Amino acid sequence: MHVPVLFNEAIEALAINPNGTYVDMTLGGAGHASAILARLSGGRLIGFDQDMDAIDRAESKLISASSTIHLVHANFSQFKDTLKALNVEEVDGVLFDLGVSSFHFDEADRGFSYRLDGPLDMRMDASQPLTAKTIVNTYEPRDLLHILFTYGEEAFARPIVKAIVKARETKPIETTSQLVDIIKGALPEKRKAQKGHPAKQTFQALRIAVNDELGVLERTLSDVLDHLSVGGRCAVISFHSLEDRLVKTVFKKSSTVDHPADLPTMPTTEAPFRQITRKPIMPSAQETQENPRSKSAKMRVIERISPR
């Protein structure tokens, strides 16, 4: 069952205007989208998801709403072009929930789970050509190392890559269970005895690489801030340190005025944005107990305070 993370906190953070225009960048199970729609009386919701199954589920769940809905089967990197096509110049709120949907983890055929046997896929958009299987079987060792170090922060990246390269020389690595066995075989016993699945970081790294998650997020955040109305807010729920670090950097830069040291500072000068909270909003103890997948979630919120 899909349970939206930081559900109440996210909806509250958006400070929804009933007549406003809101964008759910990651529809997933449409939990957050349903709550946004429930608070709109004449407004508009635009929802993105690159998974057509998610679009179909959201459509059946949201279609009876009275407010205008536009569901877009595309990566949220198409945000700017979609607004232009809809003749929307600015929006009042944007929500990113960057966690992988429970539907993806629970469906073995999607290849996201290290606990279920399935094809080594990991594509959010099943129509794109690049898969985890391609990366694992064809990328140069140095490129695999970069992916595991950078996107997975995997301390044992070198032995894992060495084991992958050796295994693929015999036969292609085609399933999640094959890769899990290779990873386990490359790790020392003390690492395998630690809490957490030994393949978690490698699978995270491959998923990020397959879907260019960090690159897309950074580019899209810039577009979103450019299109926020005065008083409009952007809330981002992230699930690992790489995402949170990126969001923190973008929000800090946007809400800070960098005055040259050798020039006088005008007292009325201010940044066009303000951060709603300096520290990220975290799930409550009750939520983490009821939904363990929420444990690593962090939400940061920013608001435009001066005209575009």
Whether 80 and 11 share a structural domain = yes
Structural domain span for residue 160: 108-211
150, 177, 211 - which closes a domain: 211
- Residue 304 CA to residue 308 CA, distance in Å, equals 9
Which CATH number do you get for residue 162? 1.10.150.170
Whether 118 and 201 share a structural domain = yes
192, 211, 230 - which closes a domain: 211
Whether 207 and 122 share a structural domain = yes
State pLDDT tens for residues 147-196. 999 999 999 999 999 999 999 999 999 999 999 999 999 999 988 888 88
Predicted confidence band at 200 (pLDDT cuts at 50, 70, 90)? Answer: very high
Taking alpha carbons only, the member of 143, 145, 119, 147 closest to residue 133 is 119
How much is the pLDDT for 60?
84
State pLDDT tens for residues 232-291. 999 999 998 999 999 999 999 999 987 665 655 555 578 999 999 889 999 999 999 998
Residue with tokens 């386990």: 184
Whats the size of the chain, residue-wise?
Answer: 308
pLDDT above 90 (res 58): no
How many domains is the chain partitioned into structurally? 2
Query: For helices 176-186 and 157-170, what crossing angle results, to 10°?
Result: 130
State pLDDT tens for residues 72-127. 999 999 999 999 999 999 999 999 999 876 555 667 778 788 888 999 999 988 88
Residue 86, Cα to own-chain centre: how many angstroms? 24
Residue with tokens 């089967």: 73
Residue at 76 is within a domain: yes
Whether 163 and 248 share a structural domain = no
- Residue 96 CA to residue 84 CA, distance in Å, equals 20
Token code pair at residue 75 = 């990566």
- Residue 270 CA to residue 244 CA, distance in Å, equals 25
211, 243, 273 - which closes a domain: 211
Which CATH number do you get for residue 18? 3.40.50.150
Residue at 2 is within a domain: no
